[in-house]
Amino acid sequence: DAGVTQSPTHLIKTRGQQVTLRCSPKSGHDTVSWYQQALGQGPQFIFQYYEEEERQRGNFPDRFSGHQFPNYSSELNVNALLLGDSALYLCASSPGWTGIPTEAFFGQGTRLTVV
């Protein structure tokens, strides 16, 4: 089992551009959450997807949007990139039927640098 996989690993974008990050959940998991982790900070919740719908959203602007596909994989889109969007973006997956923390796993993250 490959666990949670994220792509790409790193990318560099120019201010004002748009970016799409991808996440494949662990096999058997149907819930995907996205977090933003700025350097030296803890992860901040962006949103969570379940059954292809956004179930919860954190305090992020509408420039941040997402999607979940029927195979449970997910995308995070960020429009009009700002320098402050530079961060490690983490995807976490879990089986929707349980809230047990040991069932949730994080991916390795995508390091986004905005220049």
Can you give the binding site for other proteins, defined by CB under 8 A? Answer: 4, 33, 35, 40-45, 48, 55-56, 58, 90, 92, 98-99, 101-102, 104-109, 111
Nearest approach, Cβ of 63 to other proteins (angstroms)? 19
Give whichever of 1 and 16 is closer to other proteins, judged by the CB atom.
1
Give whichever of 14 and 62 is closer to other proteins, judged by the CB atom.
62
**Which among 97, 32, 99, 114 is positioned nearest to 70, based on CA atoms?**
32
Give whichever of 81 and 90 is closer to other proteins, judged by the CB atom.
90
Three-point CA angle 106, 21, 113, nearest 5°? 95
Nearest approach, Cβ of 43 to other proteins (angstroms)? 5
* Non-local CB neighbours of 36 within 8 Å, separated by 6+ positions: 43, 44, 46, 60, 85, 87, 88, 89, 90
